[in-house]
Amino acid sequence: MSNNKKKNLTPVQQDYQELQKKSETKRPVLKNCIKAFLVGGFICLIGQVIQTFFIYQFDFTEQTAGNPTVAVLIFISMLLTGFGIYDRIAQFAGAGTAVPVTGFGNAVISAAIEHRSEGFVLGVGGNMFKLAGSVIVFGVFSAFVIALIKTIIIQWGGF
Helix (H, G, I), strand (E, B) or coil at 119: coil
pTM above 0.85, yes or no: no
pLDDT of residue 69: 95
If you average pLDDT over residues 81-107, what whole number do you get? 87
Higher pLDDT, 131 or 153: 153
Asked whether 43 and 70 are in contact (CB, 8 A), the reply is no
**Average pLDDT, whole number, for the chain?**
85
CA distance 14 to 49: 55
Write the burial class of residue 140 (CB in 10 Å: 0-12 exposed, 13-18 middle, 19+ buried): exposed
pLDDT of residue 75: 92
